[in-house]
Chain A
Amino acid sequence: MRLKVFVLLFGLFLSVSQVSIALASQVGQVSQTSVLEKSAQNYLKTSVDEILATIQDPRLIKAPNEQEQILYNKAMELFDFKTFSMLSLGNKYRSFSSDQRDLFIHYFSKLISHTYFAKLAGQDVQNINVRYLKNTPLAPKKNIFRTDISTLLVQGETQIPVIYRLIKKNTPNWKIYDIKVAGVSMAANYREQYRQHVSQTPEAIIKELMEKVEK
């Protein structure tokens, strides 16, 4: 009888201790998982879903101008075009005055959203599926948090790896500052283009960009 009670108690103790270890380890894990990066992924996912929904919306497909405007607004909300521009201009960014920077950012954001969203809008996007693979946070710098979210864009048998690079400065939201499609970083691609034109002045760069957007 005593033995039975002992075993019973021992078993109970074992299960209770397991539960508490389980809970403790889960609590520990959650704080370690860093809610910050989780929020980045959730934010990205919601935004991507919204964009796909806008592109697929049959009503908006019939009103391309309205669709473009909605997508542009969405892009302005989702992208950090300032950082994006900075990385795209590379060294040249330093030679831009504050007004010139604003102008550049304005036209650059238009170029990106017009060319890439216009391409998406014209495509068959019905069975696009985005798989979120992993988050890779970069070492934080003061108040700058950055994380790379690796995804896989799947449509039929085509699979394209897309990495969204997100940044959080002293703003509440995460924002995309670069996209790597199949290993090609857009910002680095622009940086290389600007580096090739060494002698181009800020005025010339803005003019070129403006003409490209308004064409």
Chain B
Amino acid sequence: MKKSVFVLFCPLLIGIFFMALTGCAKEAFSKSDIIQVDTGGKKEGAVAPVSITDEGLKKDQDNAGGVDSEEMLNQDLFDEYDNQAEDVQMVADPLYYFNYAMYSFNDFFYFYALKPVAQGYKFIAPTVLRRGVNNCFHNLLFPVRFINNILQGKLQAASDEIGVFLVNSTVGVLGFNQFAQKHLDLKTSDEDLGQTLGSYSIGDGFYLVLPILGPSTLRDALGRAGDFFLTPVNYVEPWEANLGINAYDKVNRTSFRIGDYEALKNASLDPYVAIRNAYIQNRRSEIGR
């Protein structure tokens, strides 16, 4: 009797097994799957690539087609970019002369004060310490991230922030160690009031370079002022201690980024415009996130 039951159920089990397998296969594929935009190009794409991949890895090439067709393709592409939101990245800069003066000051400040100090500090302080301090300051900004997540309606992110803060403040010893990120796969997202205002469709206003703090806009500067009250460090008294802590944070942060500013400056033809544009592009992407 037992045997017959087994005979009965065995094929069914196999069937269920394969059902599960196909389910998994489908899921695995959909994860690594690529979002198709245009069905028109799909067939072309599926036919052509076999030769492309084979040849492509073996030999390098120059234009396979004639100059004319290459030129035409460029033209097509160019037209598209021409018509595309070219102006999206523009920002008004009515305070250009003030901003340029601040930019020059910040540049001077970076090369003659911040960079040497950060380099000296980097030389003395072990990476473990610098990372730990960085994490610690990051942990202290929890209220800023939490409140702004709430204000943007990102409730899941807000609850993750709580989790990360609680775990890192305790197990991670005052946030020195990012235990939650490493072992619990929780993430924080850098949100600030400027982004929150941006997410309410409030525009940049105009470009503004702040002394020492660097590039900003009217909206982001107002956001910064609001976030000031959510930053625990700013409640430290006396003000000298507060300033000292903030300065140390700045030096510690800079010690990880020595060379970034130089590279951007060297690669650009007009560093002021390059930085302004980079700031605006970066903020737009953060707000759209």
Within 8 A of B (CB), among A95-128: 111-112, 115-116, 118-119, 122-123
Nearest residue, chain A, Cβ from B69 = A170
Decide: A170 and B52 in contact? CB cutoff 8 A: no
Contacts of B266 in A (CB 8 A): 115
Within 8 A of B (CB), among A135-166: 135-145, 156-158
* A2 is an interface residue with CB less than 8 A from chain B: no
Contacts of A182 in B (CB 8 A): 282, 285
Q: What mask results when residues 24 to 45 of chain B are scored 1 for a CB within 8 Å of chain A, else 0?
A: 0110010011111110111011
Decide: B11 and A14 in contact? CB cutoff 8 A: yes
Answer whether A188 and B61 are a contact pair too, CB < 8 Å, given A35-B49, A87-B81, A158-B256.
Answer: no
Answer whether A157 and B64 are a contact pair too, CB < 8 Å, given A10-B11, A31-B46, A193-B274.
Answer: no
Which of the segments A19-27, A54-62, A63-71 contacts the partner chain?
Answer: A19-27
Decide: B134 and A157 in contact? CB cutoff 8 A: yes
Decide: A116 and B269 in contact? CB cutoff 8 A: no
Contacts of B274 in A (CB 8 A): 189, 192-193
Contacts of B237 in A (CB 8 A): none
Decide: A18 and B74 in contact? CB cutoff 8 A: no
CA distance A11 to B86 in the complex (A): 62
* B18 is an interface residue with CB less than 8 A from chain A: yes
Which of the segments B2-10, B196-204, B209-217, B242-250 contacts the partner chain?
Answer: B2-10
Contacts of A91 in B (CB 8 A): 82
Within 8 A of B (CB), among A195-211: 196-197, 208-209
* B268 is an interface residue with CB less than 8 A from chain A: yes
Name B's interface SS. Answer: helix
Select one of A18, A33, A156 contacting B34, CB under 8 A.
Answer: A33
Contacts of B18 in A (CB 8 A): 15, 18-19, 22
Contacts of B119 in A (CB 8 A): none
Would you give the shortest CB distance from A72 to chain B, in whole angstroms? 14
Answer whether A14 and B12 are a contact pair too, CB < 8 Å, given A137-B34, A193-B277.
Answer: yes
* B124 is an interface residue with CB less than 8 A from chain A: no
Q: What mask results when residues 1 to 38 of chain A are scored 1 for a CB within 8 Å of chain B, else 0?
A: 00010011011101100110110011001011111111
CA distance A187 to B29 in the complex (A): 33
Q: What mask results when residues 164 to 199 of chain A are scored 1 for a CB within 8 Å of chain B, else 0?
A: 000111111110000010111100111111101100
Select one of A11, A112, A118, A119 contacting B11, CB under 8 A.
Answer: A11
Decide: A34 and B269 in contact? CB cutoff 8 A: no
* B241 is an interface residue with CB less than 8 A from chain A: no
Nearest residue, chain B, Cβ from A140 = B41
CA distance A122 to B266 in the complex (A): 15
Would you give the shortest CB distance from A83 to chain B, in whole angstroms? 7
Answer whether A33 and B7 are a contact pair too, CB < 8 Å, given A18-B19, A116-B263, A172-B55.
Answer: no
Contacts of A46 in B (CB 8 A): 57
CA distance A22 to B15 in the complex (A): 12
Answer whether A169 and B70 are a contact pair too, CB < 8 Å, given A12-B11, A34-B36.
Answer: yes
Decide: A171 and B64 in contact? CB cutoff 8 A: yes
Decide: A29 and B65 in contact? CB cutoff 8 A: no
Decide: A157 and B42 in contact? CB cutoff 8 A: no
Answer whether A171 and B37 are a contact pair too, CB < 8 Å, given A36-B49, A93-B78, A208-B269.
Answer: no
A-B contact pairs, 10 of them (CB 8 A): A11-B15, A15-B15, A115-B263, A116-B263, A137-B37, A139-B41, A142-B76, A172-B52, A182-B285, A209-B269
Interface residues of B (CB under 8 A from A): 4, 7-8, 10-12, 14-15, 17-19, 21-22, 25-26, 29, 32-38, 40-42, 44-46, 48-53, 55-57, 59-65, 69-70, 73-74, 76-78, 80-82, 86, 89-90, 131, 134-135, 178, 181, 256, 259-260, 262-263, 266-270, 273-274, 276-278, 281-282, 284-286
**Further 14 A-B residue pairs, CB within 8 A, beyond A170-B70, A173-B60, A193-B277:** A18-B15, A34-B34, A46-B57, A111-B267, A119-B263, A136-B35, A143-B73, A144-B73, A156-B131, A169-B73, A173-B56, A183-B286, A184-B277, A188-B281
